[in-house]
Amino acid sequence: MANATKVIISNGGALKAKYGIQFPTIQNAINAWILADSARGITSTYVAVDDLATMARCGGVPAVVGDEKSHKDAVDAVYKSAIPDYVVLLGAPDIIPHISLNNPTYNPSQPSDDPDTIVPSDIPYAVDAPYSTAPEDFIGPTRVVTRLPDIQGANDPDYIVKLIDFAKAAAATTRQAYSTPYLGVSASVWTGSTSLSLSAVFGSAAALQNVPPATYNWLPSQLSALSHFFNCHGASNDSHYYGQAGESYPIAQDAAYINAKIQVGTVLSAECCYGAQLYDPSIVAGQMGIANTYLDNGAFAVWGSTTIAYGPSSTNGQADLICQYFLQEILNGNSIGTAALSARQRFASSSPTLSSSDLKTLVQFICLGDASVRCVNDAAASGTKSIPPSFSLGETVSGWNLQARRAASMEEGRMLSLFKRRATTKEVVRPADTEAVLLRVAAEYGVKAPSITSKEVFEPSGPKLFEAMPNVLVQSQEVQTFHLIFEHLPDGEDFIRRRMLEVGESGGRIVMIRELFSH
């Protein structure tokens, strides 16, 4: 295992229990996957983290089915033993569980403000820090980690075998193929924000589709685009994304409709609440979610959120940025896993202090697909670069090698962990005069029936690492406390809507205000 380029990690006992006598079918598919990787220069190995002998060789303890801490500990042990370039978690959360992190925007005095009591996350598997439920402990990812899921709760191996077959046969193509055309879809109320995102990624927003008037019945020419970007509403355990104009919420994407209509190699970046949620289809009459459906049709990658995501309506921030960064890194020739790592690190570096909404954004986005697969093979020749430059080069560009880039990304992640200021989930008691000021802010923004929660900021002892903060109305001092002012907006038929003012306080003065909406 010490020489492995890629480690495929799963829980053998959980797979056997789920698939019974059909488990050997999955074993055979994994073996064929490893052989296919070898043919393209990747040394892959499979690790069952519940196997006693295997974990003993890694210096770890076997994971227990369903236990999050034991899986985090086991993955850490495997990683430290192998130091691979890529890690692929094989299976849905009933095989390899998400890590349940505390929600940074949760209001304990008004739980319905942001009803996500926890944020199911894969980012702890990409961070050197030990197991914790505190999201602020995982802001410095250093590992290239993705998940290739099967179907939550299902027991037919055909789905996961098909996904493995797609990974085996994956081949990169040109940047042009992923840039023109593209499918860019926005809820009409967020046209301004989505236009900025599409221009940042593709150089133009001319192909933007607003819902309404557009709807989910996309033409074959639109669905055949290899890059899909959605900035829409989403809901828990729902196979749709939704647009919005006023109080109208027409369907913007439908998992059942797109089946057999998208191309192998498609990449989806979903700026939607629950955009990449992996749920048991049996709870919704057997219909797979959008993420599972994309993968079932040969998508190389799905990037999306497990919970309620936030962003501004006319500018860019939070979910806008992390979705842009992922697609930019894909277009720059990076592997899917490297794109995810770089997107997370870029986002964590993009503001002086990670706010509560920033923190939730960072930990809620997951990457589904084979970490080692590349979509674009000619980005180096295009001359395009992203920030930071060390992550903008393709996997095999002359003058850089994978090991040098991995070392740079590991250092970047460690610096973020050590020195980045960030909100925490610790509640702060507000003085009466602060409460009065916040209520005046709410009134000035027209917030009806506001409720407020306040979060402490972690102050590192080392130097500050930051770039310009996006979407900040006023920024004069470092934020010491974040106050979140919630407003309940009229809900859609299947999803909740929230407006949130994120107010930064420093030394008793307001130094930052953001207006954000649930997506």
The pLDDT tens digits of the residues spanning 271-319 come to 999 999 999 999 988 999 999 999 999 999 999 999 999 999 999 999 9
Asked if omega into 181 is within 30° of 0 (cis), the reply is yes
Percent of the chain with pLDDT over 70: 92
Does the model's pTM come out above 0.85?
yes
Question: Quick one: which H or E segment has residue 233?
Answer: strand 233-234
Q: Domain coordinates of the chain in residue numbers?
A: 1-84, 145-418, 421-518
Contact 257, 267 (CB under 8 A): no
Average pLDDT over residues 30-38: 96
Alpha carbon distance 122, 89 (integer Å): 9
What are 426-457's pLDDT values in tens digits? 999 999 999 999 999 999 999 999 999 999 99
Alpha carbon distance 476, 464 (integer Å): 15
pLDDT of the residue at 473: 41
**48 Cβ contact list (under 8 Å, min separation 6):** 10, 11, 12, 13, 54
Alpha carbon distance 187, 241 (integer Å): 9
Alpha carbon distance 518, 103 (integer Å): 14
The helix/strand/coil state of 253 is strand
In terms of Cα–Cα distance, which of 516, 517, 137, 202 is closest to 348? 137
pLDDT of the residue at 406: 75
Positive or negative, the Cα torsion across 262, 268, 272, 277?
Answer: positive
Question: Residues 470-481, buried b or exposed e (16+ Cβ, 10 A)?
Answer: bbbeebeebbbb
pLDDT of the residue at 410: 82
What is the DSSP secondary-structure string of 124-172? GGGSSSPP-S-GGGGS---S-EEEE---TT---THHHHHHHHHHHH---
Positive or negative, the Cα torsion across 421, 422, 424, 429?
Answer: positive
Alpha carbon distance 124, 133 (integer Å): 9
Cβ neighbour number for residue 130 with a 10 Å cutoff = 11
Res. 402 pLDDT band, cuts 50 70 90: low
Task: With a cut of 90, say whether residue 392 has pLDDT above it.
Answer: no
Alpha carbon distance 360, 482 (integer Å): 13
pLDDT of the residue at 495: 85
Alpha carbon distance 268, 286 (integer Å): 22
Contact 86, 338 (CB under 8 A): no
Contact 91, 14 (CB under 8 A): yes
Alpha carbon distance 255, 269 (integer Å): 15
Q: Tell me the backbone φ, ψ of residue 376, rounded to 5 degrees.
A: -115, 135
- Identity of the residue numbered 165: D
**Which CATH number applies to 145-418?**
3.40.50.1460
Chain position carrying tokens 């709807």? 215
In terms of Cα–Cα distance, which of 452, 496, 516 is closest to 116? 496
